[in-house]
A and B are shown apart, each in its own frame.
Chain A
Amino acid sequence: MSAPPVNLDHLVQTVPCGLAAGRVDGTLTWTNGVLERWLGRSDLSGTTLQSVFSVASRMLFETHVRPLLMTEGIASELSCKLVRDDGEHLPVLLTAHYDPQADETSAVSYALFSAGDRVAYEKRLKKARAEADQLAAIVTSSPDGYLTLTRSGRIVTTNESAEAILIVDDLTGILIQDIFPDASDWLGELSANSCKRTRIVKFVRRSGRNGMPLDLEITLSPLDSVATDLSFEVEWQAGVSLIVRDVTQRMATRRRLETTVAELDHRVKNTLAIVQSVAAQTFRSEGAEDSRTTAFAARIRAMADAHDVLTERGWQDAELTELVTRTLQPVGGPSEVEIDGEPALLYTEDAVMLAIAIRELGDNAARHGALSRENGKVTVSWGAVPDSDAVSFVWQETGCEDASTSLDAGGFGRMVLEQALPAQFGKPASLRVSAQGLIYEIEIRTQSVSSALSN
């Protein structure tokens, strides 16, 4: 070999890594300038490399590195920490080589690379991986099926539950369209909305094990990652996540509940109809006036209407506009009755009593008040009471100059409006006659009142 063009000694002293050589027993016979500078000392000969390691690195060296080195001749890229003269720890990657044929003073050679940045990076990586592993463990053990799909619908990954729910042994590589014929539409819907954070939920019924029907809830959403943000399509790359849940039990419970509620509703209305006909028969045989029979029938009808409103909303609440509209339907159309208020959800226990009261007002207006006049009109309005969930409810009749009220003191209507309703809401009511006609006001509690509800 020709003479090297560089000063080898200078190179060895300044090359950007620590170099050392030593005996089999670990004692060092030579170190380069870089290693000495890192450690802040120049008296390393005669000591061992382990002696400048941190305690843990020393343990690792003795239990793992040295046996490997002595039996296999090499130990590569091991992460260790050197302890500098000032006590600072310096992370390094150590590679050691053992040559039994070499001179005994340099049987073992060492190269050390500074690895501070790399060690810090790997630590972050390890933490991220641990977090990802935890999430993966949740997905693996979940009773719900998790799948990732390419944008064209080919299944990339699944968990075991997905294969159990869909009754396919190996889903990987299969087109989702072969499992759910509608899946093409779902994927189309998803890609049409892909710029937003979309989630599409579908319910599907398919045949399960033993041919029993299986209700599935399917949630599709785009996979949010750097790779999928790229606009070009990569055939093998997952771009969509699909979660499949077995909701057979839930759907069965819901159907049972719906049937039960419908049946109950039917029976209650049936009962009200029976009460009405029994009353009619009774009043007739006793020779009661027709007007009293009619009034009674109207009150029962108001209760039945309120009941309908409640049933339609699953007995969760009753919406005020709906309740007022339905209750006043037999009394007058939109040209005579103006309803004006933001949507408000009543408590179920308040709905029936309020309906009866409104019906009393309506009947009174039709027989004696504004609705019995040529240009008479009723305005039912309400507005939110600040800082509360209540609304101030106002019944106002106009076009009825010579108004008086037939709501007799001690009569049913007056009792409902002045006693029963205030007792129901725990608020005073005001029933009076103005120059234009009758006015009734009361504050009504609600579950919520909001312009947002109108949407």
Chain B
Amino acid sequence: MGDPIIRNAVRRSGRPLGSNGPALVFAHGFGCDQTMWNRVAPSFEDTHHVILYDLTGSGSSDLSAYDRNHHAALQGHADDLIEILDSLEIEGAILVGHSVSAMIGALASITQPTRIAQLIMLAPSPCYLEDESYHGGFSGDDLHELIEAMDENYISWAHQLASVASGPANDSAHAAELGRRFCATDHRIARHFARVTFLSDHRTDMAKVPVPTCILQCSDDVIAPAFVGSWLEQAIPDAALRQLAATGHCPHVTAPAETTAVIRECLDQ
């Protein structure tokens, strides 16, 4: 097993580790990479040791480390996260996990409770598929169609990821570099990860989450609908639900100011 810091393209900034207060780890969701946090994470550099990383198989992570067996369940990604924290010898971190990474963080906290002291879940869902009494929002057919849509878009996607790098929206070499790898990943890994993510069902694990958890629920989020946020609040022992005015599934991108403010409120609790 390679160095998890390199494997997961871990980037650290802000106050030195252990100087004052817990480390703040930002984990990105399905579809993109750590650059998703670019409008939120820097705000915490004054107060925290900030850690960003790419899930194995996403962004600038070592794609060769993506193992279809190890990563056949979210627990594989949770183990990756624990390895990162282990190698940095971080205890009691606060994990801000978006979307699927909210569940990855929850599984990591169950597996290794000393490493994570608090979870902040942004647009989380423990199960995307509908059943009789649970309204996750999706059917198996929807998932199949999503993977097909990802396939259809693969070529134009790869093309524009290359072209946005030099586009007018980027004002620096750094931005160009970020743009180049923005959301870029191996197509086959993306398909596999989509399946693992959207077929996951961690509802029964939620009762075992051992740490205080903030659930940040967006308005009008098709991926993680309001029903799911309420369900999680009931299921996780020490949970607090906060409603965001931001719409959609990516408030840290579309409404960074509100997202930053709410995360800070959660930290201060």
Contact = CB atoms under 8 A, between A and B. Distances in A.
Contacts of A48: 220, 247
B148 A62 contact: no
B168 A62 contact: no
Given A59-B222, A76-B160, A71 B38 contact: yes
Contacts, number: 118
Given A64-B157, A122-B152, A56 B254 contact: no
Interface stretch (B28-36, B42-50, B110-118): B28-36
Nearest to B250: A67
A27 to B, nearest CB: 8
A399 interface: no
A28 interface: no
Q: Contact residue range for chain A?
A: 35 or more
Q: Which of B35, B157, B167 gathers the greatest number of chain A CB atoms within 10 Å?
A: B157
Contacts of A58: 222
A55 B250 CA distance: 17
A191 B247 CA distance: 68
Interface string B116-147: 00000000000000000000001100111110
Given A25-B248, A72-B170, A73-B169, A67 B157 contact: no
Contacts of A25: 246-248, 254-255
Interface string A44-82: 000010100011111110111011101111111111110
A63 B31 contact: yes
Contacts of B167: 72-74
A62 B143 CA distance: 14
Interface in A1-37: 24-27
A63 B123 CA distance: 12
Given A25-B246, A55-B142, A56-B149, A63 B222 contact: no
A63 B249 CA distance: 7
B179 interface: yes
A122 B153 CA distance: 11
B179 A70 contact: no
Given A68-B183, A74-B169, A62 B145 contact: no
B149 A60 contact: yes
A25 B183 CA distance: 21
A73 B168 CA distance: 8
Contact of A71 (B35, B149, B152, B163): B35
A339 to B, nearest CB: 70
Contact of A70 (B164, B223, B254): B254
A59 B223 contact: yes
A56 B253 contact: no
Contact of B153 (A54, A55, A66, A78): A78
Interface in B155-203: 156-157, 160, 163-164, 167-170, 179, 182-183
Contacts of A63: 29-32, 99, 223, 249-250
A62 B222 contact: yes
A56 B183 contact: no
Contacts of B139: 55
6 contacts: A50-B222, A55-B222, A63-B30, A63-B223, A67-B36, A67-B253
Interface of A: 24-27, 48, 50, 54-60, 62-64, 66-68, 70-81, 119, 122-123, 126
Interface of B: 29-32, 35-36, 38, 99, 138-139, 142-146, 148-153, 156-157, 160, 163-164, 167-170, 179, 182-183, 220-223, 246-250, 253-255
